[in-house]
Amino acid sequence: MEVQTQVKPQEKKEVTQRITGAEAVIKCLLAEGADLVYGYPGGAIMPVYDELYKFQDQIHHVLARHEQGAIHAAQGFARTSGKVGVTLATSGPGATNLVTGIADAQIDSTPLVCITGQVGSHLLGSDAFQETDIVGISMPVTKWNCQVTKAEDIPEAIAKAFYIARSGRPGPVLVDITKDAQFGELDFKYTKCKGVRSYTPVPKTDPESLIKAAALINEAKKPLIVFGQGVILGEAEEEFKAFIEKAGIPAAWTILGLSALPTKHPLNVGMVGMHGNYAPNKLTNECDVLIAIGMRFDDRVTGNLETYAKQAKVIHFEIDPAEIDKNVKTEVAVLGDVKETLNDILPFIQQDQYENWLKEFKELDTVEFEKVIKNELYPQKEGLSMGEVLKYINQETQGDAVIVSDVGQHQMMACRYAEFTKSKSNITSGGLGTMGFALPAAIGAKMGAPDREVVAIIGDGGYQMTIQELGTIFQTQIPVKIVVLNNEFLGMVRQWQQLFFDKRYASTEMVNPDFITIAKGYHLKANRVTKRENLAKAVKEMIQSPEPYFLEVCVEKENNVFPMIPTGASVSDVRLS
């Protein structure tokens, strides 16, 4: 009898390739779809740059003029594209120059992967040339970081970095790779990370929380929504719009939430916070239900916590459990991805209109217009105002532009007066308040949204902190439009000195260089406006230019931003003058 034996098919062997750790870094980036990186070379990252040279037809590298410029550009790219921004830097000062941008990205929830070179593993801890403990330094301001000392560990570390950076509440991660790991060899294979033990990026939503939240909303007489960047990061703009339109509830925004809802939407009642609009600030302490969506109750929003919305029942839609009850006690916490939770709660929400409540907002809007806005947009005095510059930018862009701002008076003016029709349009340094952010961030923002007009609004102080990035614009020819509102002061600090320090202007007056000459030195088109009759034409010329363009507007030196909530005061104490 013939015995048949079952022949097992040969198991398919996974094909691996023997490559260096440096080449593995590049292949990992390509596997993650990261074909654009910002950086600055140096000794400890040179092996990676050598491989980058070989892959330059697949990965575009933007050479910044300073590592801080590189990371802010990566932030701008991430904020407009919704992708992970990538930065390369060398060890020592190269790595430490990234720290401000990392901290900025951490507090503003921007997904970044920062790859730094490090001295050889045998030199770690020896105070070798350009050695710093960047893992220890960056630990408090990263979502996750690690050091890699063996070539074979590079793919897993980078896969984990991208997963952590983009999942859940996004943030910056840092991977520090020793030079011997870059030179070492490994059998390369890449598997994208799909989960990390003990890390739950999106908490499970309790269905009961949706029912409780809906009941509070439906019973409310004077509900108010305050929405933040979580709506944008969760790509929940349509769900949010459907929610507010069905509920009929007025919605106010934090500066990072700006542009999630079109500026002219009838339920958009303006900005909350220190320099926010009069109505939403005053009426925060009169609403009976406060619905926070994707925001973290920052102190600039709440003012004095002892008096903040004490009369209201608070509902908090949030992806990060650490934010619940951190600053403001909630009645109902709705944890989860806001795109899903807003969609899930919608069937439980009753269609409503709050005509009398909305009328209160409109009445206070009229007060603010007469006492503040009219004087800013249509000034009767000779000096130019910051607000009227934004007015002409709005006219030329029709609210379709991306506005990138630094920090200070110009930032508050940009947030207050820029108009937006699309999401991911207001790119600014929110939580950290980083001077020098706007110029490099505008470069990245334009690369992340190449089909959109990108206008950087910058003060003369912050502009000079990263002015060298004009060199990056010159080399790349990225057609960003740069507007410097020059009041020859560190304006926001000066305003505080005027109001709270008896006009003792200590170290805030600026003696500035000739910005036009500097711009022309970088071969940029440049113009200066000192008179109102030339402003509209200059803004139009700038916006219509297909090339990078620099516009300096000399504005009134001692103009202030109002409304204003003094530090430590209640939101009800918002001042109009």
Question: Coil, strand or helix: which one is 420?
Answer: coil
- CA dist., res. 182 & res. 82, Å (int): 29
At 503, which amino acid appears? K
Check if 179 is active-site: yes
SS3 58: coil
Q: Determine the Cα–Cα distance for residues 294 and 192; give it in Å rounded to an integer.
A: 28
Q: Return d(Cα 164, Cα 170) in angstroms, integer.
A: 7
56 tagged catalytic: no
Distances (CA, A) of 441 to 93, 329, 444: 21, 35, 5
User: In residues, how long is the chain?
Assistant: 577
Query: Considering 492, 542, 552, 564, which one is annotated as catalytic?
Result: 492
User: How far is Cα 470 from Cα 269, in angstroms, rounded to an integer?
Assistant: 37
DSSP type of residue 564:
B
Here the tokens at position 146 are 């690690």
Choosing from 143, 179, 241, 339, which is the catalytic residue? 179
In one-letter notation, the amino acid at residue 448 is G
The answer to whether 201 touches 336, Cβ cutoff 8 Å, is no
Distance, CA of 175 to CA of 152 (rounded, Å): 14
Parallel, antiparallel or unpaired: strands 17-20 and 185-188 = antiparallel
Q: Which residue in 420, 417, 408, 484 sits closest to 453, CA to CA?
A: 420
Copy the structure tokens of residue 464. 């000079």
Catalytic (active site) residue 67: yes
Q: Catalytic: which of 67, 318, 368, 469? A: 67
Phi, psi of 428 (to 5 degrees): -150, 165
38: helix, coil or strand?
strand
In terms of Cβ atoms closer than 10 Å to its own Cβ (0-12, 13-18, 19+), residue 300 is middle
Coil vs helix vs strand at 529:
strand
At residue 491, what is the residue type? Answer: G
Q: Which tokens is 235 given?
A: 């790509």
Residue with tokens 């862009």: 397
Q: Is 130 known to be catalytic?
A: yes
Catalytic pick from 129, 183, 500, 501?
129
The stretches of 32-166 forming alpha helices (DSSP H) are 46-54, 67-81, 93-96, 99-107, 134-138, 154-166
Q: Which of 46, 55, 83, 130 is catalytic?
A: 130
Residue 83 annotated to the active site: no
Among 34, 42, 40, 55, CA closest to 111: 34
As a whole number of angstroms, the distance between CA 266 and CA 359 comes to 12
Active site residues: 67, 129-130, 179, 492
